[in-house]
A and B are shown apart, each in its own frame.
Chain A
Amino acid sequence: MSGYLDDLQSRLVDASRELSRARRRRARRRGACCAALIVLFTPPALAATGVWRPQLGDGKTPAPKISADSPPVEQLALLGVLRRAQTEADRGVASRYALRFVGAGSITGVRTDSIRLLAQSSQDRGVVLVPVERYERRLPGELPEDLRRRVEVTIDDALCIYQLDVDGAGAACYSTADVKAGRAWMMLGHRSMWVVPDGVASVRTEYADPAPITAPAKDNIVIFSAPKRRVQELRTTFLDPDGKPLLVTDRNPKPIPTPAPAPAAPANDVTHTGVVHGIGVRGAGADAVYELQVQMAGSPGSYVVLQRPACAGKRRVRSFYGSSTPFTVIAIPPSFGDFATARWCPGTYRGTIRPQRARKPIGTFSFQVR
C-alpha cells in the first residue's frame, strides 16, 4: 500500500532522524558549556572566558547589544577602576540586577567586560558602573524645541551608573568630560554619590547650615548620606590625598535667566489629592505630556508610580523624582517609567507619589486619555 499512510510514515521517520540529530547537538553544547563553566570558576582564567553575556533588560522590552570593545583610552586613563581586572563581584547579583534596568531605548553597546561594582554596603544595595558605547535621551512626541534641547542628550562612550535601592534603581549616564569637570553626581533618596577621577582621595560638600561632610573615595566613587532635611548645598571640593583642593564646584550658581515656558493648559477628566495641586497637559491625544503641579515640602525625593490600562502592556511603571524646590512640575510623558512606550493608549491612568521608604502615598492623581 502506498499513499497517505506511507507518506505519514516517511515523515515520522524523517522527524525521528531530526530529533536524534538535535539531541546530539544538545549533548555537544552541554559539553562545551561544562567546559566553559570549569574555566569560569577558575579565577585567573576569568578574562579568558570571552565577552560576558548576562541578561540585559527586563526580558519584555528589547535589550541593547553587548559590545566586546574596551572603553576609550581616555576613560581608562581617567578611572583606575576600569583598568583593574573584572572580578566575580563585578559579575555578581548586584550587577545582574542593575542590568535588568538597561534598555535598548536609550543605550547602545553595553561593554559588559568593563562593568564594575563600585560600592556595596548595608546602606547601599549596590552601585554599578556600566560603560556603554552610546547613551541617548530622547523625548517622544511633539514638544517645544527649547524643552527638547534642554532635556535631550547624546553621549558617546557614556559611563552609566546604576544606584540600586531596596525597591528600584536610580540611573544616570555621564561623559568622560562630566567626570573630569565634577559633574558626575547623582542622588537616590538621601544617598549622595560622585564619580571622581584618579587622584581624588575625598570629596567635601559644604552646606548652608550643617557642617561640611567629607567622604573618602574608593574605586573612583564617593558615596555618603546627605542631611535628611532639605538643605542648600553651597559647594563641592575634590581633595587630593593631602587634603589639597583639586576642583571646586559651586553648587549654587546664579541661575541663567531663561524664558519661563508658557503654563500648560488645564487637563480635563482629572483627579488629584495631597501634594498634587493640579494637572496640566501639553499637546493632545496619544502624544500629549501631562504635568503634575506638586508642592512637596521636606521630602528629598519620591517615587511617582503610574498604573496604566491593560492596553499599555506593562501595567505598573514608576520613576524617581527629586527636587530642591518645594513647588515643582513633574512631567508625565507616554514614556514615563517605560522608554519602550512612545504613545498613550486610551484609558484611565492613576498614580501615586510616595516618598522613598514611606509606606503611604502623599498624593494621588488620575487622568483620562481618549
Chain B
Amino acid sequence: MPRSDEQLLAATRRGEAEAFGEFFARHRALVLVYLVRRCSREDAADLLAETFAAALVAAHDGRAPRAVTGAPWLLTIARNKLVDAHRRGRVQDAARRRLELERVEPDYDELEAVGMDVEAALSSFPAADRAALRARVLDEQPYEDIAREMNSSEPAVRQRVSRALRRLRADLERQR
C-alpha cells in the first residue's frame, strides 16, 4: 500500500530522506507539464528544481499541508515561483541556495518525454475527467467556470479533478 503524500512529507520531516524522493517522483511530471506550458523549457527545468527545493524546505520547517495529495500545494508553489520569475525577469534560486543544491544541466529530451508520458496517460482518461483536469490544473480555471462550461455542478467537477489526478499519478508511477 503506497503511502499518502501527507505521510511522505511527515516522514521527510522525521528524517527519512528517501520519503521526499518518493514524493518528488510522484509529482515531478505533473509540475513539469504545468511549467512547460507557461515558460521556456530552460526556465521550466529551473523552476521545477526550485519548486521542489522550496517544498523540501517547507516540509522540514513543518509548513507542508496536511492533505492526502500534495499536488495542489506543489502547483501553488510552482505558480508563485513562475510569477516571481516573470516579474524579475529570471528564475530565483533562493531555496536551492539554502540547500546548496548545485544546478545540473537539464536533459531536454527527457523533459519532453515526460510531457509526452503525461499526454499519453491523459489520452486514456474519460473525456470529461481529462477536460476537467486540463482546465483546472493546467489552465488554472476556477471550478465555478469549469462547472458552467461542462454543464455540471462544482462538487462534481472537484471530484473529477481529484479522481483524474489520482489516476494520472498511478499511471505515471507505473510508467517509471
Contacts and interface: CB of A to CB of B under 8 A. Distances in A.
Contacts of A181: none
A13 B18 contact: yes
Nearest to A2: B110
Size bracket, chain B contacts: 20 to 34
A5 B110 contact: yes
Given A1-B110, A20-B15, A20-B17, A11 B60 contact: no
Contact of B53 (A5, A15, A17): A15
B27 to A, nearest CB: 11
Contacts of A5: 28, 110-111, 114
Nearest to B96: A15
Interface string B90-127: 00000000011110111100110110000000000000
Interface stretch (B44-52, B139-147, B153-161): B44-52
Contacts of B113: 1
A18 B53 CA distance: 13
Interface in A1-20: 1, 3-5, 7-20
A23 interface: yes
Contacts of A10: 21
Given A5-B114, A8-B24, A8-B104, A16 B56 contact: yes
Interface string B23-59: 0110010000000000000000100110011001101
Contacts of B60: 16, 19-20, 23
Contacts of A12: 20-21, 24, 52-53, 56, 99, 101
A4 B24 contact: no
A15 B24 contact: no
A19 B57 contact: yes
A24 B106 CA distance: 33
A1 B104 contact: no
A19 B21 contact: no
**Secondary structure dominating the interface of A:** helix
B110 A4 contact: yes
A336 B67 CA distance: 62
Contacts of A23: 60
Contacts of B52: 8, 12
Contact of A3 (B19, B48, B110, B176): B110
B63 to A, nearest CB: 13
Interface string A268-306: 000000000000000000000000000000000000000
B21 to A, nearest CB: 4
A300 to B, nearest CB: 55
B17 A14 contact: yes
Contacts of B28: 5, 8-9
Contacts of B105: 4
Interface in B50-97: 52-53, 56-57, 59-60
A4 B108 CA distance: 9
Nearest to B106: A4
17 contacts: A5-B110, A5-B114, A8-B24, A8-B48, A8-B49, A8-B104, A11-B102, A12-B21, A12-B56, A13-B20, A14-B17, A15-B100, A15-B101, A16-B19, A16-B60, A19-B57, A20-B60
Given A8-B48, A9-B28, 15 more contacts: A4-B45, A5-B28, A7-B104, A8-B52, A8-B104, A9-B24, A10-B21, A12-B21, A12-B99, A16-B12, A16-B17, A16-B59, A19-B57, A20-B15, A20-B60
The 5 closest A-B pairs by CB, nearest first: A17-B17, A20-B15, A15-B99, A16-B17, A4-B107
